[in-house]
Amino acid sequence: MLLSSSISLIGPVIVKEALDNYIPNKNITGLVLISILYIGVFMSVAIIMKHRMYTMGEVGQSILVDMRQDLFRNLQYVPFNYYDSRPHGKILVRVVNYINSLSDILSNGFVNLIADMVTLIMTIIFMSFLSIKLTLVTLICIPILLIVMLSIKNAQRRAFQKLSSKQSNLNAYIHESINGIKVTQSFSRKKENMKIYEELCTDCSDSWMKAVSLNFLVWPTIETVSVMSVSLIYIFSILIFSGEVSIGLLVAFIAYVWIFWAPITNIGNFYNTLINAMAYLERIFEAMDEKPEYDNENAISLENVNGDVTFENVYFEYEENSPILENVNIDIKAGEKIALVGPTGAGKTTIVNLLSRFYKIKSGNILVDGVDINDVTLKSLRKEIGVMLQDPFVFSGTIMENIRYGRLDATDEEVIEAAKIVRADDFIREFNDGYNTYLNEQGNGLSVGQKQLISFARVLLSNPKILILDEATSSIDTETEALLQEGIEELLKGRTSFVIAHRLSTIINSDKIMYVGDKHILEEGTHEDLIAKKGLYYNLYKSQYMEV
């Protein structure tokens, strides 16, 4: 940068010498030599610029890679409530769009800013060398420019913050619409959705117009001020410094004035880009600053787990002063099968989420084999807990890779054995590529029930000591469920299990059934005990099986 800026500024000095000395004296030899020097100057600058642009492009891209990795890494560790409170589309736009928008400013913007600052300083030095008086005349216009720039700075920042918010809303709505397209089409909501989308697009467009209208004030302001400074040079040279300024000096100095204003124009453009980028950077760093869930400093690894689980006076709330669970006490011995039943929203899923430490309890303790789960490493805790959710999820990759997801060192034979136990092997082999059938994230070609069986095999393969089945068989037909139940019984042997099910037929044989409601465990006992009580569980069972 120093070389290119310094060498490029030699040009006007060469022109001055040619006009003031070589041409008037008809020194052809000297003029040829100085012309060769002039060409050499620009060739040198071109070579240096090529290397500078390549190097800074590489540096800028490496910064983007680091930023993407830092942001994605933090998103892997932030607690669940971060995702609960934000549309996934808004998170996605930060990871992809906002960081992509910084590509130019990181690859070229900052380095060009430094280069322009160097050029500016070097130009002032060269101008002062030619004429201190004319240099001071040039600098008269700088305060005018600063006043204009400062007056629109805050308005620009607010405008781009608003634009960033509107773009984020638009992206979130697109993401939501794509995920819910089946519901949209089944309810014929296409026109209504298009109207909402059109409004969001209009908001985006209006915000963009307001933002760039402020940006467009910068360039013409700099152009106007630069023309004013050149005009002042001519006026002062003719009226005030008459006789002191030669033709060569005037031409060379005017060339330096234009060189002087070129980096200022670039800095003004960079300023516009920076104001735009700041709105994106604020959102990116907001996500980076979200506190991840790390292990305690003295956390231990949970080893040789038996499967005893204890909840001691557990209190939990998602929002301040809105408790979901109050003073919940549960004592489960290793190998017991526990069923959680109750109305929707009572907190059944919350209980098992707290055991997996997806959320932090406000007070109380949760123990596994007598050890507080907050005192163990997350990795060792979740390695011992297998979670099977109501909504199965498959990742892009083969069926084999999806089942092996939680245990990468498993052999093909172990994967196939797990699939056989959960009754997934038969339908997998019906595919032309069998276990090597490639799936996208939507699970192309698979029914919801088949995806659930693959998810079940995935959990089984990880061989956890504690198993959580959250409505795990809700998407499977009755015939398949009957077959799967055999596999589940094999899976549950020797494992502590929590089963959440609305179909009570699947949990009748549980060692203990807990009725969750009104923020507490309201009833607890075996199926026979609770039926004999004729309480809440009895009424729930009776509503499903009228013959009771």
Q: What is the CATH number for 436?
A: 3.40.50.300
Same domain, 416 and 518: yes
Residue 484 is encoded by which pair of tokens?
């799967």
Same domain, 282 and 318: no
Q: In the chain, what is the straight-line distance between the N-terminal and C-terminal CA atoms, in Å?
A: 87
Residue 71 lies in a domain: yes
Residue 80 is encoded by which pair of tokens?
């669940």
Distance (Å, whole) CA 72 – CA 253: 52
pTM comes to 0.63
Residue 27 lies in a domain: yes
Owning domain of residue 524: 309-544
- Phi, then psi, of 342 in degrees rounded to 5: 145, 175
Residue 16 lies in a domain: yes
Distance (Å, whole) CA 514 – CA 336: 13
Same domain, 357 and 227: no
Distance (Å, whole) CA 12 – CA 259: 10
Residue 497 forms beta bridges with which residues? Answer: 337, 467
Same domain, 385 and 270: no
Distance (Å, whole) CA 347 – CA 335: 23
How many domains, in total, are found in the chain? 2
Same domain, 262 and 378: no
Same domain, 264 and 358: no
Distance (Å, whole) CA 239 – CA 237: 6
pLDDT tens digits in sequence order for the chain, 548 residues long: 777 777 777 878 888 888 888 888 888 888 888 888 888 888 888 888 788 777 877 877 788 888 888 888 888 888 777 777 676 777 777 777 777 777 767 766 776 777 788 888 888 888 888 888 888 888 888 888 778 777 777 787 788 778 878 887 887 888 788 777 777 777 778 888 888 889 999 998 888 888 878 777 777 787 888 888 888 888 888 777 777 778 888 888 888 888 888 888 777 777 777 777 777 787 788 888 888 777 788 888 888 888 899 999 999 988 888 888 999 999 999 989 999 998 888 888 899 989 988 888 889 999 999 999 989 998 888 888 888 777 778 888 899 999 998 788 899 999 999 888 888 888 899 988 899 998 877 677 787 778 888 888 888 888 888 988 887 666 566 666 666 666 677 667 778 989 987 778 778 888 999 999 988 999 999 999 999 998 998 888 888 765 44
Taking 3-state DSSP, the helix, strand and coil percentages for the chain, each rounded to the nearest 5, stand at: 65, 10, 25
Distance (Å, whole) CA 471 – CA 494: 21
Q: The CATH number of the domain where 266 resides is what?
A: 1.20.1560.10
Residue 145 lies in a domain: yes
